[in-house]
Amino acid sequence: MVIPVALYCATGNPGKLAEFRHAAPPGLELLAAGPLDCPETGGSFEENAVQKALYYADHLQAAVFADDSGLEVDALGGAPSIRSARYAGPGATDEENRRRLVKNLRGVDRPRARFVCVLALAEPGRLVATFRGATEGEILDAPRGAGGFGYDPLFYYPALGHTFAELTPEQKHAHSHRGKAFRALLAWLDAHPGLDRATTVPFASAARP
């Protein structure tokens, strides 16, 4: 980053926020935007990410980036997609979602899948940019690994021979959908320091909700 700043991250998922903070470069502090009743009515990762980013930016009067991400499985016609967090129903746990996925893929040999992440960056009143990352893999019929969250224990990444739940945080950031999108966002910020000066929150005055 050109100027040390604190930037708001709009996500209600503590696992996602932890990954972003772990990957943030020196000089950039990520603040939790805090829970808001922001509806997600979009039909794609892009639409939902943009909706959240604009909503939080207007509420906080600061620059915000929002994440929308999930798993797409070819054998399921791309599901669970934008419904990844509630695949087994509203309020479903990660384990419940994983069990349903395994059940629905029973009998499918090495189903191909991908993790997709879209980050939307907004400042009050306008969308600034969006960034997309995707990682191809396969779905296992039983979880492996104790790290990560969500579908990570089922997502096998052939290039490293492990599930995402078996990777170190550094390995996961280097190869994951979220890491790819976040690096694209950081590169954009580094090339556009005017956004930092205009709409992000200086460290000294950053209010933590």
Query: What CATH number does residue 17 fall under?
Result: 3.90.950.10
Is 209 within a domain?
Answer: no
Report if residue 38 sits inside a domain: yes
Q: Is 68 a catalytic residue?
A: yes
At 64 the three-state DSSP class reads: strand
Give the model's pLDDT for residue 209: 29
Residue 56 in any domain: the answer is: yes
- Per-residue pLDDT tens for 87-99? 999 999 999 999 9
For residues 199 and 30, which has the higher predicted lDDT (pLDDT)? Answer: 30
Mean pLDDT, all residues of the chain: 88
Q: Is 89 exposed, middle or buried (0-12, 13-18, 19+ CB in 10 A)?
A: exposed
Given a contact cutoff of 8 angstroms between Cβ atoms, the answer to whether 154 and 102 are in contact is: yes
Q: How many CB atoms lie within 10 A of CB 11?
A: 22
Longest dimension (CA), the chain: 56
What tens digit of pLDDT does each residue of 166-175 get? 999 999 999 9
84 falls within a domain: yes
For residue 195, the model assigns a pLDDT of: 65
Of all residues in the chain, the percent with pLDDT exceeding 90 is 71
Sheet containing 64-73: give its strands across. Answer: 28-32, 5-10, 64-73, 112-123, 126-139, 155-157, 162-163
Which candidate in 37, 67, 68, 94 is catalytic?
A: 68
Count of structural domains within the chain: 1
Q: Find the domain containing 143 and state its range.
A: 5-204
User: Any idea which of 23-37, 45-59, 79-93 has the lowest mean pLDDT?
Assistant: 23-37
Lowest mean pLDDT among 15-24, 59-68, 102-111, 197-206: 197-206
For residue 38, name the pLDDT band (cuts at 50, 70, 90).
Answer: confident
Is position 110 within any domain?
Answer: yes
**For residue range 104-159, what is the model confidence (pLDDT) as tens digits?**
999 999 999 999 999 999 999 999 999 999 999 999 999 999 999 999 999 999 99
**Weakest-pLDDT range from 15-24, 94-103, 196-205:** 196-205
pLDDT of 201 over the 50 cut: no
